[in-house]
């Protein structure tokens, strides 16, 4: 399947009631999408939310990187005492909070995830720093407090990036609750699309977060199934469908194992040069071995390069390779090795540079150390800002080749039907 619109159509068609040849009528209320960063998940979520709108009316409530951009810090560099975030009130999502007790609503979810509270303000500070009184109920600023060990409360604190994401998610979670309870203001919402809500969490919190989410989705699934009859019209059952996309294998596996009515899709980028998004079905057991599939994609590009055929090795392939290495490291355990999990997996690698071979036990250890440091640096810092379609130079292609060859040899990855 190729192209965003075709993928969106596929997702929507697979949601709802369908008949299994042996199990009878089944209900699928969640699509679970797996893809590495740089594939285009966020673009797909935006397109999904805007495709097939009628009269400008929203049919999708969605959470992605754009949702986080609705909140920005006001940085008072001179005084730096009353820290707060400015809220983009042009957003219909923010305007939708008007008329509700969102202070308590948002904090009821935030308390389960963090140790701080949010305080919304309807009034705001203008460019001169003067307070402007509005008299309405639209949130324009928000500040945070935390109870200290001595029992006192610290106001106007600066929270971390990870805590920011928990706060924004709590705002979205509160609005999602309004949608699921059938609030009239959100009556037209047919889909809830959630893109990578928990990138800053460690694995333990990811599992807790995923568990809370799939329990919510399952509750909707159970209620729909309990009210289903042969004459039921799908649109009258009251709940929107869910679409969730992630690059996090622990999150994916936890969700897939916990959800009662879902199907999985693997998203990846076309390697022929069109830069389109492709998709393929994911079985229940695929995610744990997804890193091998991605390794096969890198192998395909390296072989095309080696045989002087058209290839598409780009910067984002290093981010893919880092994800693969982290999967191996999770199995091995990070240990106490220098350079952490990256260094552990790359231990014993042989590098090639300008016709020379460098290994850890070579007399010229300095040459090896330089290349090893370069490998770690590239893998660590080719991050999300590096996903523009930029072709790799020959030195970096060789580096990627060395890492691939090392993984195949060290972990004895066998060629099974030319998969890897």
Which of 29-33, 120-124, 172-176, 316-320 has the lowest average pLDDT? 316-320
Query: pLDDT value at position 175?
Result: 94
Element spanning 155, H or E? strand 153-155
- Give the C-alpha separation, 113 to 121, whole Å: 22
pLDDT of 253 strictly over 50: yes
Exposed/middle/buried for residue 233 (C-beta within 10 Å: 0-12, 13-18, 19+): exposed
Asked if 347 contacts 337 with a C-beta cutoff of 8 angstroms, the reply is yes
Instruction: Please provide residue 59's backbone torsions phi and psi, each rounded to the nearest 5 degrees.
Output: -115, -5
Residue pLDDT, tens place only, 158-217: 998 888 988 999 999 999 999 998 888 888 899 999 998 876 565 557 777 888 898 999
pLDDT, position 24: 79
Tokens 């929270």 — which residue?
Answer: 159
Across 320-324, average pLDDT: 76
Q: What is the pLDDT of residue 418?
A: 38
Q: Is the pLDDT of residue 38 over 50?
A: yes
pLDDT of res. 240: 92
Tell me the pLDDT band of 45, cut-offs 50, 70 and 90.
Answer: very high
- In three-state secondary structure terms, 172 is helix
> Pairing state of beta strands 124-125 and 131-132?
antiparallel
328 or 187, which is more confident = 187
Helix (H) / strand (E) element for 210: namely helix 203-227
> Over the chain, what is the mean pLDDT?
81
pLDDT (average), residues 329-342: 59
User: In this predicted structure, what is the pLDDT of residue 1?
Assistant: 44
With a cut of 50, say whether residue 57 has pLDDT above it. Answer: yes
Q: How deeply is 317 buried, as exposed, middle or buried, from its count of CB atoms within 10 A (0-12, 13-18, 19+)? A: buried
Q: What is the mean pLDDT of residues 219-226?
A: 87
Distance from C-alpha of 360 to C-alpha of 371, rounded to nearest angstrom: 10
CA–CA dist 76, 84 (Å, integer)? 9
Three-state SS letters, 315-339: CHHHHHHHHHHHHHHHHHCCCCCCC
Q: Which is nearest to 272 in space by CA: 252, 290, 292, 297?
A: 297
Phi-psi region of 246 (alpha: psi -120 to 50; beta: other; left: phi over 0): beta
- In this predicted structure, the answer to whether residue 382 has a pLDDT above a threshold of 70 is no
E-strand ranges in 160-201 read: 191-195
pLDDT at 293: 67
Q: Is the pLDDT of residue 9 over 60?
A: yes
Q: Are 86 and 140 in contact (CB under 8 A)?
A: yes
Dihedral sign (CA 122, 123, 124, 126): positive
Q: Say whether pTM exceeds 0.85.
A: no
Residue 244 has pLDDT above 90, yes or no: yes
Q: How confident is the model at residue 419 (pLDDT cuts 50, 70, 90)?
A: very low
> What is the pLDDT confidence band of residue 393, given thresholds at 50, 70 and 90?
confident
Question: Residue 387 — pLDDT band, cuts 50, 70, 90?
Answer: very low
Under 8 Å CB-to-CB from 11, ≥6 apart: which residues?
A: 31, 33, 48, 243, 265
Mean local confidence (pLDDT), 368-381: 72
Q: Which residue has the higher pLDDT, 196 or 38?
A: 196
Residue 327 sits at the vertex; the CA angle it makes with 324 and 333, to the nearest 5 degrees, is 140
List beta partners, residue 269: 277
- Phi then psi for residue 233, to 5 deg, are -95, 125
pLDDT above 50 (res 108): yes
User: How much is the pLDDT for 388?
Assistant: 43
Residue with the bigger pLDDT between 44 and 309: it is: 44
Between CA 334 and CA 332 the distance in angstroms is: 7
- Highest mean pLDDT of the ranges 28-37, 322-331, 408-417: 28-37
Lowest mean per-residue pLDDT among 19-28, 109-118, 196-205, 401-410:
196-205
Copy the structure tokens of residue 142.
């928000």
Q: With bands split at pLDDT 50, 70 and 90, how would you rate the model's confidence at 245? A: very high
- pLDDT confidence of residue 415: 59
Tell me, what's the pLDDT at 7? 92
For residue 241, what are the β-bridge partners? 191
Encode pLDDT of 267-286 as tens digits: 877 766 566 777 777 765 45
DSSP state of 91: S
Q: Is the model's pLDDT at 70 over the cut of 90?
A: yes
């Amino acid at each position: 399947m190729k192209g965003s619109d075709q993928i969106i159509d596929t997702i929507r068609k697979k949601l709802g009631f369908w008949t299994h040849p042996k199990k009878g009528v089944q209900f699928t209320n969640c699509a679970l999408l797996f893809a590495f960063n740089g594939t285009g998940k966020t673009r797909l979520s935006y397109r999904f939310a805007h495709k097939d709108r009628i009269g400008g009316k929203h049919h999708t409530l969605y959470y992605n990187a754009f949702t986080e951009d609705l909140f920005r810090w006001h940085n008072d560099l001179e005084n730096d005492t009353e820290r707060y975030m400015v809220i983009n009130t042009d957003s219909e999502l923010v305007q939708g909070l008007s008329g509700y007790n969102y202070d308590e609503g948002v904090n009821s979810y935030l308390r389960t995830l963090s140790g701080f509270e949010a305080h919304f303000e309807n009034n705001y500070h203008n460019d001169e720093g003067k307070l402007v009184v509005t008299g309405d109920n639209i949130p324009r600023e928000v500040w945070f407090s935390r109870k200290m060990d001595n029992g006192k409360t610290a106001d106007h604190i600066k929270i971390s990036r990870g805590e920011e994401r928990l706060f924004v998610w709590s705002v979205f979670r509160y609005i999602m609750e309004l949608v699921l309870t059938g609030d009239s203001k959100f009556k037209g919402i047919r889909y809830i699309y959630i893109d990578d809500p928990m990138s800053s969490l460690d694995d333990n919190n990811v599992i807790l977060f995923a568990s809370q989410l799939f329990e919510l989705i399952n509750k909707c699934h159970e209620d729909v199934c309990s009210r289903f009859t042969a004459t039921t019209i799908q649109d009258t059952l009251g709940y929107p469908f869910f679409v969730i996309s992630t690059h996090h294998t622990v999150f994916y596996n936890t969700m897939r194992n916990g959800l009662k009515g879902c199907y999985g899709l693997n998203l990846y980028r076309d390697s022929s040069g069109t830069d389109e998004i492709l998709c393929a079905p994911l079985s229940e057991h695929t995610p744990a071995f997804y890193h091998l599939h991605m390794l096969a994609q890198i192998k395909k590009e390296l072989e095309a390069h080696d045989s002087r055929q058209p290839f598409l090795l780009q910067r984002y392939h290093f981010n893919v390779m880092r994800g693969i290495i982290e999967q191996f490291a999770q199995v091995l355990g990070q240990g106490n090795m220098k350079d952490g999990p990256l260094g552990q997996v790359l231990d014993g690698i042989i590098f090639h540079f300008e016709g020379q071979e460098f290994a850890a036990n070579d007399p010229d250890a300095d040459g090896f150390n330089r290349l090893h440091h370069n490998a770690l640096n590239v893998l660590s810092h080719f991050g999300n800002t590096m996903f523009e379609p930029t072709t790799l130079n020959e030195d970096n292609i060789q580096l990627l080749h060395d890492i691939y060859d090392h993984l195949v040899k060290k972990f004895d990855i066998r060629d099974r039907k030319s998969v890897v």
